[in-house]
Structures are given as C-alpha cells and as structure tokens.
Structure 1
Amino acid sequence: MPPIHYLTTAAEVQQCAADLRNQPRIAIDLEFDDMRHRYGRNLALIQLFDGRTVYLIDPLPLTNPAHELEPIWELLRDSAIDKVFHSCKSDILLLDELYGVHVRHITDTSVQYTLLGESDNNISLGRLIQSELGIEVDKGEQKSNWLKRPLTDAQKQYAANDVLYLFELADRLQTKLAALGRSQWAEEENVALEDVRYTRDERPYLRIAGKYRILPPEMPLFRDLYLLRDQVARQIDRPPYMVFANDRLAELARDTPRTLAEWQAARGLHPELKRAPYLDQLAGFLPDVFVPVPEPTLPPEQRRFPFRRRLTGEKAARADAREQLLLQLKTFITEDINVYVANLVLSNRLISDIIEEGADHALRPWQRAILRDTAMQHQLPYDTIASPFQ
C-alpha cells in the first residue's frame, strides 16, 4: 500500500504541487457534497496519486481555498500532465462552477470502458476495479458525510482507493481499445471533455414540476414556493429538502393552506419557515391573497424537439425520411458491430441532432467514420444526412 499523506495547510499543498509538477500523469478524484448535508455544492476533499504516493488534500481547514489551492489548479490546467479520472464530468463541472478551473489533458476510464462497447450503462469504479483487476474495494463510505471533521481512517482509505487503481485501469482499457482499433475514439471523447462547462439552470424548478406533472395554473405558486424554500435553505445552510421535501412542495402547490394558522400547523416544514420574515411570505401565498405571475415562455432552444415541431408539409416529410434513414443505419451498425456501439453513434439525442444539424456537425470524427462506412457498405446515401437540414 503506498503511503497516504493527509494535507491540511497551504504550505503542504504547495509542496504537493511541487512534487507532482514533473509527473507525466496524475490520478485524481474529488469528494464533494451536493445538497446532501449543506446548501449548494461544496468541495470536501481532493485525492491525487502519482504512482507512488496518495495525497489527500483537505480544503476545509484552509483560510482561502480558492487561492491556496491554486498550485493544484495549475497542475490541472497543464496540458503536459495527463489527468486520469473515472467518470469525471461531475468533478470538472464542480471545478468550473466553484473555481473557474478548466482541466486539460484528461483520460477518463469510464469513457474508455464505454467505448469497448461491452455494456450500455456507465460502470461504477468499484465494479470496474473488480472486473478488470479482480480486486474488491470497500465502498461502505460512499454516502458518508464528507464535510464532517475529523475524517475517519475508513474515509481516508476509501478516498485513497478512488485513485490508487486508476493508472492500471487506464492502461488495461487502453490496451483493449487498441486491440479493437478504437484508441482514436477514446482520444476524441477525452479531448471533448476539456470543453465541458458549468451552466447555471435559471429555472431548476421546472425539472421537479415535470416529475410531479404540475399543471400550468399551478406553476406560479409551485415556482414561488420553490424559490422561498431555496432562500431559506441558503440562509440556514441546509439542503432544500431539509426545509421541506419535493413531494411536500407539490402538495402545497395543489392544496395550499388557507390561513396563516394552517401554514404554522402544516407538517413537514422547517421551523425557520414558520418565523418572521418567512412567515410573512407564506401569508402572501394564501389563496385569497396570492397573485400569480405567469411563467415566462421557454425560449425555442429550451423546448423539447422545437425543430421538428416547426416543420409541416413537405419539410416534415423530408425530416421523417432523414430519421428513417438514420434508424436503418442504426440497425445495420447493430448487426455489423453491436447494439452498444450503435447507441454510441446514433442515440436518440444524436439522431435528433443529425436530422437538424447534419452528421458532419453533430458527430465526432470516429462516429462519422462508422456512419459513413456503414452507409457505403449497405449502399445507403450518407450525403443526404451529412449536411444541415434545409
């Protein structure tokens, strides 16, 4: 077992960065809390491994983490150093959101495994370690509170395991990809991860509303209750579900208390919500008082399948013909390679994108090559789907 260094000071972070500066690659993982124990997304731990030593960097004791972690951010931005992750999107989104860090030169073992075309689903790191290396790692700390201090020895060992095996996994998977002639696929997908950016969802309540099938007349109150809940959660630094649960949010929008006393007696609400100044806001939601502000219309780019809905007549028929050709090609890819690769090249989302934007714009080079070769082999007209719809 390599040594595990637990770092809690700016000087230790600086020394760690210096130790890693000339390494060709670094295995990395993050532990963070995403609205489970505190409000928002909070970085709790950075795990690094250079093949000899595991470094666990604790950002919580640092006075100014954004500044004091800058030596580590410099490593992540350095395109000369390969950063080996497993399923990195949530990590790189967090780094962009909280610190404006854009990671360069990424190898993602989840991407490598997916491109082997052996399964339709993402595989967990624990399962991948077991299937490829024959090692069973303890995942008992997966859902522990990573913001609670001090960290236990079990948490530290769990965190170390998340980076200890990444080099060996990446090398094994790369060998398998090379044997299948798919190394270029992985390279293109990993390069694309460098462009992943965090974007703020201006109307997050719509995702929840869809789950509970909130009707248009109910939406203004549902939205305003959601926003009040978020305001209280931010104030008390607790996840919104601790103010009141999502299913309670839907219930309150549909069966709203009719008096202030009923609001104060309502079940499942955090006590802070029943005190000033929030109680005054609840009073504004009483049915006899509430004035609904209609939900603004979604811009076209955020509507579901806006392109196809705009088409009628001859244009709609041509779009349908493009779709049928793509579905035919997907069937042939399934027969020629397998269903997993067919879904990587022509998922439902990609089919929709190709119909509108064309395959040359919507697909990566490796996907275009498979689609073009399949069309040629089966004497189907690739050129008719290569360009944007007109």
Structure 2
Amino acid sequence: MTVHLHRGDLPDGLDLGAVVAVDSETMGLRYRRDPLCVVQLSAGDGDAHLVQLDRDAYDCPNLKRLLTDPQVLKIFHFGRFDIAMFQLWLGVETRPVYCTKIASKLARTYTDRHGLKDVVRELAGVDLSKAQQSSDWGAETLSQAQQDYAAADVLYLHAVRERLDAMLAREGRTGLAAQLFDFLPVRARLDLDGWEDTDIFAHT
C-alpha cells in the first residue's frame, strides 16, 4: 500500500480511472458545525490518495471535477454522509454513486451488521482497525496512523462492491439498488435541509 498525501487538491493530471472509491474525514458528525477536513480516494490498485483540504477556501477544482464527473462512478460506504458534506462544504453534487452500505443491506439480509468493518471483514477478508476514527482530522499535520486509517477506508471498496454486485444479482435486487444509489444525493440534500431524522415517506 502506498499513501499519497496532497494538500489542498488532487494533483493536475491524476487519472484514477472510471471507478473510484471515496471517503471523507470531518471534525464530527454534525453537518454545519463540523467541517470537512480530508477526502481519500483509491482507484482500487492498492494506493490511496488523501487530500488534506484548505478549510479557509475549499478551493479544490480537480477534486470537485472528479466528484461531479458523469463518467466516473464513485464508491462510498454510507455515502449519504459524505455526499452531504461535499454538497455543503465543496458546493458539488456527487454523481454517479454506489454505496456499499445500501448494497449490503439489500444483499446481506442474513445479518444486521452493515458497518464498514464488518462488511470488509466478511467480503474482503480484511480486519480494519478503527482506532483513529475519532482523532483530530483538523490537525495541521496528519500522523502516519491517521493516514493509514483513512487509506484503509477506501482500499477495499472495489473488492467489496464486486462481491456485493454478485449477491445483488443473485437476489434479484440489482435494479432496486441502482435506483437507491441514484436517489442518494437527494437524500443527502434532505439531510442538509433539516429532514435528517424524518422519514418523509412515513404515513404519520
């Protein structure tokens, strides 16, 4: 594994291919209180690219271009949060997307364990450490442990997606999953607009 740390933006000319795994690190889990700090990406080749964002400007045209590129599929785990953070702090709507958490809930109905650690352990055979999950992502310098943690969150999503796609096809839920992925940026917008704890489809 090689971790490439970039300050402010992805470098010019970097091509991560047609399918890119994406995750983010923030100062917390509240949208407007907790700023976006780091975005990590992987082409599924064993390398990870971490963008430590400039929180004074969020001027990252290369990253924004990739997130909105209609020819690049972005794989997330619980993309609802990351996509909302990108809408809020970067001002972009991320499409097209694939969420391994949604796919897991549709395909792995034999379990209620759909966190990244559980999904990666079962489908990729890797035991992720979550020790740095709550560390200070707004620090001026990211520790090697933080960099390795952030990288691990995207390194295995391609393999997980491949396994989940096979399971979705087996269960006849591929089309349903695709419709849910397409709706995900809208769900993220609802979260930002105040409906994060409301089921707008419920009768009451």
Give TM-score scaled by structure 1 length: 0.47
Q: 1:28 matched to which residue of 2?
A: 22
Q: 1:139: how far off?
A: 1.0
**Local SS of the residue matching 1:5:** strand
Task: Tell me by how many angstroms 1:175 deviates.
Answer: 0.5
C-alpha deviation, 1:149, in angstroms:
2.9
**Across the two proteins, how many residue pairs are aligned to each other?**
199
Separation (CA, whole Å) in 1 of partners of 2:125 and 2:159: 12
2:43 aligned to which of 40, 50, 58: 50
Query: Which of 169, 172, 178 is 2:163 aligned to?
Result: 172
SS of the aligned residue for 2:103 comes to helix
Q: How does 1:54-69 map to 2 (within 5 A)?
A: 54-60=48-54, 64-65=57-58, 67=59, 69=60
Gaps of 5+ in 2: none
- 2:72 aligned to which of 77, 81, 89: 81
Determine the C-alpha separation between the residues in 2 that align with 1:115 and 1:100: 30
Report the equivalent of 1:137.
128
SS in 1 for 2:135: coil
Query: Does the CA contact (< 8 Å) of 1:54 and 1:164 recur in 2?
Result: yes
What does 1:1-390 correspond to in 2, within 5 Å? 1=1, 3-10=2-9, 13-15=10-12, 18-20=13-15, 23-34=17-28, 40-52=33-45, 53-60=47-54, 64-65=57-58, 67=59, 69-118=60-109, 121=112, 123-196=114-187, 197=189, 198-201=191-194, 350=201, 352=203
Whether the 8 Å CA contact 1:41–1:94 is kept in 2: the answer is: no
Instruction: Give 1 or 2 for the bigger CA radius of gyration.
Output: 1
Q: Classify the secondary structure of the residue corresponding to 1:44.
A: strand
User: 1:121, 1:349 → 2: CA distance?
Assistant: 23
Per the TM alignment, residue 168 of structure 1 is displaced from its structure 2 partner at its CA by: 0.2
Counterpart-to-counterpart distance in 1, 2:148 and 2:102: 25
| C-alpha deviation, 1:77, in angstroms | 0.9
1:30/1:47 contact within 8 Å kept: yes
Alpha carbons of structure 1 residues 86 and 131: separation in structure 2 relative to 1, 3 Å: same
**Percentage of matched positions with identical amino acids:** 25
Deviation digits for residues 314-373 of structure 1 (CA, Å, limit 9, x no counterpart): xxxxxxxxxxxxxxxxxxxxxxxxxxxxxxxxxx975527xxxxxxxxxxxxxxxxxxxx
SS of match in other structure, 2:152: helix
Distance 1:129 1:35 in 2: 22
Which secondary structure does the structure 1 equivalent of 2:35 belong to? strand
Check 1:171–1:35 CA distance in 2 against 1; reply closer, same or farther (3 A cut): closer
Residue 100 of structure 1: how far off its partner (Å)? 1.8
Comparing both chains, which one has the higher relative contact order based on Cα–Cα distances under 8 Å and sequence gaps of 6 or more?
Answer: 2
Question: What is the Cα deviation at residue 199 of structure 1?
Answer: 3.3
- What is the RMSD of the two structures over their aligned residues, measured on CA atoms? 2.6
Deviation at residue 51 of structure 1 after TM alignment: 2.0
CA contact (8 A) 2:5 2:51 kept: yes
**Cα offset, 1:27, TM superposition:** 0.5
TM-score for the superposition, normalised by structure 2: 0.87
CA shift for structure 1 position 134 = 2.0
On the 8 A contact 1:25/1:82 being kept in 2, the answer is yes
- 1: CA distance, partners of 2:8 / 2:82: 22
Question: In 1, are the aligned partners of 2:23 and 2:82 still within 8 Å (CA)?
Answer: yes
More helix by share: 1
Between the aligned partners of 1:64 and 1:14, the Cα distance in structure 2 is: 17
Residues in 1 aligned to 2:44 and 2:108: alpha-carbon distance in whole angstroms: 28
